[in-house]
Structure 1
Amino acid sequence: MDKSVEADVDETVADAGPAKAARPRVRRREIGFSTMASLTLSAAIFTFLFLMLSGRAVPIPEVIRDRIEATVNARLGAERVALGGMALIIGRDGIPRVSLTNIKLGNAADGAVAVLNNLGARLSPGRLLQGDLAASELLLSGAQITVRRTASGAFAFGGAGGDESMAQSVPQILDLVDAIFDSSALSSLRTVEAGGIVLSLEDARSGRIWQATNASLVMRRADRATTLSLASDVFNGTDNVAEVQLSVARNLTTSGVSLGATVNRMPAADIALQAPVLSWLGVLDAGLSGSVRAEIGADGRLTSLAGTLDIEAGALRPLPDVPPVEFSSARTYFTFDPSRQRLDFSELAVVSEQGRMTATGHTYLAELNGPWPGAFLGQFDIGTVEYDGEGIFPEPFALSGLKADMRLRLDPFTVELGQIAVDQEEARIRASGRITAEADGWHVAVDAGSPAIQSERVLRYWPLVVSPVTRAWLAKNLKAGELRDVSAGIRYQTGSKPDAILS
């Protein structure tokens, strides 16, 4: 072979040799990378399955916890959230969850005002794939919260003391809740469930403390509304344990709030301290059950209220040392118009061992001290008054079609009877008077008159214990006939005999 040809062949082989030799080395690098990726993926899957099957919690680095804490606090203004322990848990359903312990809520002025023992968060898988820790559900177990209500009715958390500037209305509190849940970490949240809550309410106006124990709470968020429901037993410092269910719904478009409350075996005096319009219940020594519904505007002002109350056996007792006026039961349906400060009773019924009464009517809140009334001005149509007892009147009787104008003052307890009108065929009677409860007991002064009344009616409505000598003389000497321009008066004080004047 020609040497030049051999040289060309050798040169060609030399050029091709390295290329062929390099191919195995490239294949070895590709196999190494694929193997590492497979091992990494397998390790991740194995770790995921191990965590899922074992349910073990993996601590989350502090840098991530601090980032979440800073994001939430940036939206809260003066309020602060401090996160304690934070861990990741993979459930058997494969859904990742975050567990937080010892969460403290508060502000710079008062420190922690609420402590949450354990908070579990179900993470959003979609957000997790994007690198974000975002909760879609929260489960809370155990919390201690102190709420203080100021004299004006606003609420402050923890030790805000008498600083009214720290107090907030219900809509403002819900604004704060929305700010928390609008943070990046909680923006996907739709449900919050909580149990084992201990909630203490300190009322500045009355000096009373109520404690709700073992309370359960559910909050749900939708596109246009946030709803919250709470159920709890309530202690008021006595042996009585009441049951309370509360519901709150906030319209995210209008910021209006709907409140609902259902109570069972709650002392009437405790209900009276919760709302000015119900302060008249404070003179009753009785338990009650019922429900109330209220609407609150975005400015925190009450716009409407309606309710029904069933009152158990108890007594009218404005002062501890005043003899009680006992009753077997009472019931009322009412609505309240804040714009007119008017309370309407579509039904008012009282039953006692001596008889029963039904009425409808309305009353205006008057002599206001802030939102709290000093008096109630009322007009009532008394449908029926039935007496079927013994010892007060000589025989059972029934009256209907009565009308009453009156003013009620709570401190001191005073009922001023502007006029009581009885219009029946047998008699037309007009009466007025004053009833007060003082430290030494009841004081009663009632005057009545009629242009004409049958004599037997006078004796029927004359109590047996009032001036019995005069009554006996009339019963003996006044057999029949009609009395004209009759005037009568009754005076009574606890511890003394009733006195009557007839002319």
Structure 2
Amino acid sequence: MNEDHATDTQALDEKADKAERRKRRRRRVGYWLWGSAKMLVLLVAAGLVIFAMSGKSIRAPDWMQTRILNQLNAVVSDGEVAFQAIGLHFEKGFKPTITVKGLVLRNAKDAVIARVAMASASLSPKALIQGEVRPTDLRLDQASVTLQRARNGQFDLGFGVDVTGDSPDTNDIETKTLGQLLDGVDKAFETPVLGTIETVELTHLILNFSDARARRGWLLTEGRMQMQQDAEKVAISVGFALNYGAAQPATIALNFDTQKGTAVAGFGIKVDQVAARDLASQLPALAWLGVLDAPISGAMRAKIGEDGLLGQMDGTLEIGQGSLQPNEEARAIAFDSGRAYFGYDPKEQRIRFDELSVQTGAGKLVVEGQGYLRDMVNGVPAVMLGQFQIQELSVDPEGVFAAPVAFTGGAADMRLRIDPFKLDIGQAVLRDGDNSYLVEGKVTADTTGWHLAMDASVNAIDPKRLVGLWPLKAVPNTRKWISENVNSAEIFNVNGAVRVNSGEKPVFGMGFEFQNADVRYMDHLPVVKNGAGHGTIADNVLTVVVDRGDVTAPEGGVMDATGTVFQIPDIDIKGPPAVIYLKAKGPIHAAMSLLDQKPFNIMTKAGQPVDLATGRIALEAEIHLRLVKKIEVEDVDYDVTATLTNVRSDKLVTGRVLTAKELSLTANPQDVEISGAGLLGKLPVQGAWHQKQGKEFAGQSRLEGTVELSQRFIDEFGIGLPKGSVTGAGQGQITIDLRRGEDSKFRLVSDLKNVGLRISDLGWALSKNRTGKLEVVGTLGTPPRISKLLIEGAGLRAEGSVKLTA
């Protein structure tokens, strides 16, 4: 046993020696390997230091390129990233930087949505040594990005949308709201490969933006974007240029502040000289700007809610010189500038206008109020309902008004349909001192141009103010007539209407009433005092009716002009014809005084005084003339009819008094006639007085008619027959020629029917049942002169003259 035990002990000792020898060999190998590794690291570090100091770039190793490509494609889960080459170099401070050339980003449909000529990223040295690619900042130059918006207003990162609006179904296209896009940015920067990035900068950025909702596209150039992120938020600012062909391109700058993990974000935009229609196409709150052709500068700030849609937005816009032109066919209406201070609440779809103003060479309008967006289609309103308070309104277009027109305030309710353009004014109130004007109507613009239909009314207005508000070229003849002939009046219940259609003659209509008016209805004639009545303008005809009014004649007293009508049959003609339907009642003296005014001069032409007779007259006249500065006699045509009552004249027939209960008067440019039955002295007469018009007949007139042939005639005309020579009563035809400044000449002829004659000295007699002939010619005067006395009958013919002494 002891030998065996010794043998075993020896064997164990030998094994222990062998194990110790192997352990010493392994320790020597470990020391060699560790020393070699340290040497390798030192050599690599020395190489990196030498390479970094050289400033040269090398092609990134394949493992690094593969790792970068995989990480980028992991970020773009629905697309694919490709590049031409990746280089590696060290920046100052031993900061490793990779450079990617020819970077291309495609979406799931294999459509290119971005190209970047050159991208560079600074890497974390610690992560790189550990085999990880962790960028800390990113720089991209000459990037070209494509962005599309679907017809439903959401954003699409592919080419699946037709800008013409004819794409088959936008529901098959992956679209995102602005908030969702920003939320996607948040999530992208939460991934390991982008989570370490602190800043991103893009220069020379080009954005090709196609908008199916607006049915057009934009190419935005000279873009620059900066992004900064921390653990809680991502801040992005981006700016572009828009080239409209102007010397100075328009610019647009946007900034976003988005909270990570949510769609909530802040959004700001600043524009300079951007076209109104471009802004209108992108923001529902500015859709109403789509009818303007003008540059806009300003700033807006909004929030994006959890739904990814714009929330409360506030902004200020300065509108440059431009025009209102809803379509190419409508004539542009120019303005100088405009301004809008506003806020927008998308939940109520309400725009609050703290100020909305427009300035033109023709005036200024300043309002405040609110608008409601209605009839939304794919996020775009078709209608805006507006309620505005007018703070300032002044109108002074060159050559339109005689003087600037200003209103002290007002209010308006309206509805604007954007396309096709239609502005409905439900009611607008313009305050003008104590008066208020009510306006309603509509303005439209279609393929034929502008169309306007407006109605206005005012309870009361001063004539001077009415003329001041009346455009100089709108029915100018009517305006001129009111200005020159309505001296004072209370005009009330005024209603006006205007209809304008492009390519057609404007149509204007108005109705009004007046009282306490002084109106001149014809030059050289006295004005109508205390007039009351009404007037209309319809179908190009102006009509003014005097329901009550007085005319004070130059002589003879006051005439009642109730019922007189003034009318211009065609208000568009220069120097238009006018018709006066004159009605007047009053003293004959006053009427004759009026008829003797220019251009009639009836009594002067007749050589008769205006106080030819006393009594009353009811007169109607239709007078035609032209409204020109100087009216000649031949420019006036008239037809006068009148009834004279209780007439008495001691001037018509020299030395005789003419009286009548009723006479008729007619007058025209050719003739004046007064007719009827009366008494010449005590002698009954039935006849007419005629006065031919014309210079050659001046002072000459004739009285013709029948007279009673009886003893009263013998006595009245001083025939000189003895008393009792005439019995019975017959008829005689008498003519009296009246000449100014001379005794009147007369001639009487009778058949002596029903007249008995006796000349005792001759023993001759003519019974009443027989006929004969009597002719008397003479001159009326004091005493009368009988130049011819002829008697025939019962076998007698006697002729002679009679000389009477006073």
1:319 paired to 2:324: no
1:300 paired to 2:311: no
Alpha-carbon distance in structure 2 between the residues aligned to 1:480 and 1:321: 45
**SS in structure 2 opposite 1:185?**
helix
Aligned to 1:251: 259
Alpha-carbon distance in structure 2 between the residues aligned to 1:317 and 1:123: 55
1:155 paired to 2:119: no
Alpha-carbon distance in structure 1 between the residues aligned to 2:375 and 2:26: 95
CA 34–336 in structure 1, closer or farther in 2 if over 3 Å, else same: closer
Q: How many residues align?
A: 479
- Whether the aligned pair in 1 keeps the contact of 2:183 and 2:258 (CA below 8 Å) is no
Aligned to 1:123: 123
1:133 paired to 2:141: no
Alpha-carbon distance in structure 2 between the residues aligned to 1:63 and 1:297: 43
Aligned to 2:317: 309
Deviations 1:175-211 (A, max 9, x none): 3323333232222111111112211001112331211
CA 108–28 in structure 1, closer or farther in 2 if over 3 Å, else same: closer
Alpha-carbon distance in structure 1 between the residues aligned to 2:191 and 2:439: 66
Alpha-carbon distance in structure 2 between the residues aligned to 1:248 and 1:101: 28
1:441 corresponds, among 428, 433, 449, to 449
Deviates further, 228-237 or 183-192: 228-237
CA 75–387 in structure 1, closer or farther in 2 if over 3 Å, else same: closer
Q: How far apart are residue 174 of structure 1 and its match? A: 2.5
Aligned to 1:104: 104
Alpha-carbon distance in structure 2 between the residues aligned to 1:40 and 1:97: 23
- Whether the aligned pair in 2 keeps the contact of 1:304 and 1:338 (CA below 8 Å) is yes
Code of the residue aligned with 1:156 in structure 2: it is D
1:77 paired to 2:77: yes
Q: For structure 1, which runs of at least 5 residues remain unmatched after alignment?
A: 1-24
Alpha-carbon distance in structure 2 between the residues aligned to 1:193 and 1:168: 24
Q: For structure 2, which runs of at least 5 residues remain unmatched after alignment?
A: 1-24, 162-166, 512-806
Alpha-carbon distance in structure 1 between the residues aligned to 2:394 and 2:446: 28
Q: How far apart are residue 311 of structure 1 and its match? A: 0.8
Code of the residue aligned with 1:43 in structure 2: it is L
- Whether the aligned pair in 2 keeps the contact of 1:210 and 1:237 (CA below 8 Å) is no
**SS in structure 2 opposite 1:133?**
coil
Code of the residue aligned with 1:112 in structure 2: it is V
1:183 paired to 2:221: no
Q: How far apart are residue 131 of structure 1 and its match? A: 3.3
Deviations 1:419-461 (A, max 9, x none): 1112344422211111111223221111111222222221111
Deviations 1:448-487 (A, max 9, x none): 1122222222111111111112111211221112112111
Aligned to 1:94: 94
Equivalent positions of 1:32-431 (< 5 A) are: 36=36, 39-161=39-161, 162=167, 163-164=170-171, 165-235=173-243, 241-431=249-439
Aligned to 1:12: none
Aligned to 1:481: 489
Deviations 1:26-84 (A, max 9, x none): 99989977875665355324322322122222222333322333344345432332344
- Whether the aligned pair in 1 keeps the contact of 2:266 and 2:302 (CA below 8 Å) is yes
- Whether the aligned pair in 1 keeps the contact of 2:186 and 2:258 (CA below 8 Å) is no
Q: Which has the higher contact order (CA 8 A, sep 6+)?
A: 1
Alpha-carbon distance in structure 1 between the residues aligned to 2:497 and 2:184: 61
**SS in structure 2 opposite 1:78?**
coil
Aligned to 2:750: none
**SS in structure 2 opposite 1:475?**
helix
Deviates further, 270-279 or 173-182: 173-182
Alpha-carbon distance in structure 2 between the residues aligned to 1:442 and 1:111: 45
More helix by share: 1
**SS in structure 2 opposite 1:272?**
helix
Deviations 1:376-423 (A, max 9, x none): 111111111113443111111311221111111112211111111123
**If you compute each CA radius of gyration, which structure gives the higher value, 1 or 2?**
2
Structural RMSD (CA): 2.5
Alpha-carbon distance in structure 2 between the residues aligned to 1:103 and 1:238: 33
TM-score when normalising by structure 2: 0.56
Alpha-carbon distance in structure 2 between the residues aligned to 1:414 and 1:447: 16
Q: How far apart are residue 346 of structure 1 and its match? A: 0.3
**SS in structure 2 opposite 1:319?**
coil
Code of the residue aligned with 2:311 in structure 1: it is T
Identity %: 33
Code of the residue aligned with 2:498 in structure 1: it is I
Alpha-carbon distance in structure 1 between the residues aligned to 2:29 and 2:232: 57
- Whether the aligned pair in 2 keeps the contact of 1:211 and 1:236 (CA below 8 Å) is no
